[in-house]
Structure 1
C-alpha cells in the first residue's frame, strides 16, 4: 500500500470551515427492486477534502453519478451553493461541479492542450453563427481558452505535454490530464473517482500534492478511493458507505478506529486473516 505524506493545512481555505458548497439530502437510488443508495446525506464545505470509502459494491460510484446528474435519484435532492441542481450533467457542470471517472475518459487522438480546452467550452459564449463564421469574438475566446488550458496544464505538472497526444502519455499523466480538464470547467467542487487507481507510490504522492493544491484554491474536493492510507492522510472528513448507506462519518482518526469499518471490510468470521494496520494512518 502506498505512502502519502500529510501536508499541513496552512491556508485560509484549509480548515474546511467555510460555506457549505455541496449538500446531498436523503439521496435514494433504486434500480427496480435493488436499492443502490439509501437516504445518504453529505455536506461539503469550501476548502474541504472529503473522502468516500467502502467495500466494493457499497454504492460509492452510484452516489457520485447521482451527484453529477448521470443518474436521476429516485428521491432526494442535491444542492450546490444552496441551489438545487437538476439531474442533467451539462447543467451540473455549468452550476460548478466537475468530476473524473474510474476509467480514464480522454480524447486519445487529441493533444493534452486540446483535451483541456474541451473543458473550457462550457464557459464560452460564442453562438453557433459566430463559431461558423469565425468572427472576432470566436478568435478572442479561442485565444483565451488556449491560455487558460496551458495554465491548467502547468498547474497539474503537465506543462511539457502541450502538443503530445493524450493516448501517448504515461498512465499517471493521463490521470492528471483528466483532473486538468475537470478544472477547466471552473468548478466549485471537484469529484475524483479513484484518482490513484493503478498508480505507483511516486504517482500517488503526486496525486496527493495536486489535490492539496486544488484545495488551496478554495475549491472543495470529494474523493472515492480504496487506498486507506491515501484517504486518511488526505481528508478532513471521511464517510464510509456499506450497502448504499452511511455506516460512519467523522475525522480520519475516528473512522479508521471504528470497529464497524473494520467489520465492513473484513467481516467477522473466525478464519478471517487480516492485518488491521491496513486501516491505520501512515505515521509519515
Structure 2
C-alpha cells in the first residue's frame, strides 16, 4: 500500500485496484459520447472526474454502473467483469447518487435509507407477506442500520420527516446515506455539491472524507474546481468523450489543455479560470449545469 497525505492532513492507505474501466466507448447512433476511456480507481482513493458540459461524464458514470451497456470495452470491478444490470452492480458493491435528486418524496428520511438496505436482506416474498419472525428480525436490523447511516451523514434528527420537506442540502446527504445503505466498496457521486451554498459544500467535503476513512473508494463528478482539487487524490479530465489528462490535482490544474478545454478562446476568461485552477482554495467556486 502507498501512504497518501490528503489536503486535510490525514494519511490514507491506498490499496489495490477496485475498479478498472478498459477502453469504454458509448455511441448513440452517430454520436460518440464516450470514446475509448481507460479509468482506474484504487481502494481507499478519492478520484475526481471533471470536464466541461457535454464532456460525457455522466454517460461514463452510467456505463460504469450498468445503466448503459457500453458499445465496446468492459468494466472490471473487484476482479470481475460487471454485467450491465444496475441491481447486479449494486449487489457487487458499487453504489451511486444522481445529478438530479431521486428520493421518494412522500417517504420519510428513514424509509428512504431503508430502501437502499433491502438489497442486502434475504427475506423472501412469502416471508414478507406472512411477516413471520425472520421478517421482523430483518426489518428491525434494516431500520437500525438506516438510523445509523442517518446519524453518520448528520441527518439523525430527520428520521420521521418526509424527504420532500428537507432542505436541498439535506436531500443531497440523504441520497448519500441511501447509497451507503447498500454496503458499497465504491461510491460514485454525480455533482454532489450542485446548488449548494459554501457552508453546505464544506459539509459535503467533510462527509466524503469520512466515507473514505471507512475504507471506501469514492469517485466524484464536479464542476467546482476548488472543491475537486482540495478533495481528490487523482483527477481525470474528459473532453468531448475522451480522456484529456489524468494525474494529481497539481498536475491537472497546471495543464494548459485543461484551461483551453473549459474556456476555448478568450484571454480574459482564460486568465480568470487559470487563477482558479492554480489557487483553488482562494476562489469562490461554482457549480455547473447538466452533463451529457
Please indicate the TM-score interval, normalised by the length of the shorter structure. Answer: over 0.9
Q: 1:251 to 1:146 in 2, by over 3 A?
A: same
Contact 2:230 2:281 in 1 (8 A): no
Q: Relative contact order (C-alpha < 8 Å, sep 6+): which is higher?
A: 1
Q: Distance in 2 between matches of 1:95 and 1:216?
A: 21
Q: Distance in 1 between matches of 2:33 and 2:224?
A: 22
Q: Secondary structure at the match of 1:177?
A: helix
**1:224 to 2:221 alignment:** yes
Q: Distance in 2 between matches of 1:268 and 1:80?
A: 39
Aligned residue runs from structure 1 range 237-248, under 5 A: 237-248=234-245
Deviation at 1:283, TM superposition (A): 4.4
Contact 1:97 1:188 in 2 (8 A): yes
Deviation at 1:7, TM superposition (A): 1.4
Q: TM-score, normalised by structure 2?
A: 0.92
Deviation at 1:271, TM superposition (A): 6.9
**1:214 to 2:211 alignment:** yes
Q: Secondary structure at the match of 1:55?
A: coil
Aligned partner of 2:231 in structure 1 is 234
Provide, for residues 13-52 of structure 1, a one-character-per-residue CA deviation record: whole Å limited to 9, x for no partner: x243x02111111000000010000010111011100000
Q: Distance in 2 between matches of 1:100 and 1:131?
A: 28
Q: Distance in 2 between matches of 1:33 and 1:257?
A: 34
**1:145 to 2:142 alignment:** yes
Deviation at 1:179, TM superposition (A): 0.1
Q: Secondary structure at the match of 2:98?
A: coil
**1:25 to 2:26 alignment:** no
Aligned partner of 1:9 in structure 2 is 10
Aligned-residue Cα RMSD (Å) equals: 1.3
Contact 1:190 1:219 in 2 (8 A): yes
Aligned partner of 1:58 in structure 2 is 55
Deviation at 1:247, TM superposition (A): 0.1
Provide, for residues 166-203 of structure 1, a one-character-per-residue CA deviation record: whole Å limited to 9, x for no partner: 00000000000000000000000000000000000000
Unaligned runs of 5+ in 1: none
Q: Secondary structure at the match of 1:41?
A: strand
Provide, for residues 132-164 of structure 1, a one-character-per-residue CA deviation record: whole Å limited to 9, x for no partner: 111111000000000000000000000000000
Contact 1:37 1:245 in 2 (8 A): yes
Unaligned runs of 5+ in 2: 1-5, 283-292
Aligned partner of 1:277 in structure 2 is 275
Q: Distance in 2 between matches of 1:247 and 1:188?
A: 27
| Aligned mate of 1:35, from 32, 35, 38 | 32
Contact 2:65 2:84 in 1 (8 A): yes
**1:113 to 2:114 alignment:** no
